[in-house]
Amino acid sequence: MSTIIYHNPRCTKSRLTLDILEEKGLDFEIIKYLESPPSFDELKALIIELKTDARGLMRTFEAAYKENNLDDELLNEDELIQAMINHPILIERPIVRTDKGVAIGRPPENILAII
């Protein structure tokens, strides 16, 4: 597996994380997830690898979270994952996947353990 960064160019943390990958001289693929959201299965796999749940990967302060009543505790994991696919702005960023694991670059130095 190659290194992948799920990237939002408008996000400072995402840009700083991208800088770390470049400084380390790694070959990596950039996925602009707002334009090309991960599939349901990809998101589910990321959640499992991050050892979290769907809400742990969600940006709960985004307007789309409130507008879609995603704070409803009755929503299950699959419904929350589908909401992230429908509204990719809800996906926490940046996410980096390498052969050594997956990490969220908040702070960007979090990815050092997996590169």
Q: Which residues are catalytic?
A: 11
Query: Distances in Å between the alpha carbon of 28 and those of 19, 36, 61, 92, 93?
Result: 12, 16, 29, 19, 16
In terms of phi and psi (left: phi > 0; alpha: psi -120 to 50; beta: otherwise), the region of 34 is alpha
Contact, 102 vs 96, CB < 8 A? yes
Give dist(CA 83, CA 91) in Å, integer: 10
Q: Which residues, including other chains, have CB under 8 Å from residue 110's CB and lie 6 or more apart?
A: 103, 104
Give dist(CA 60, CA 64) in Å, integer: 9
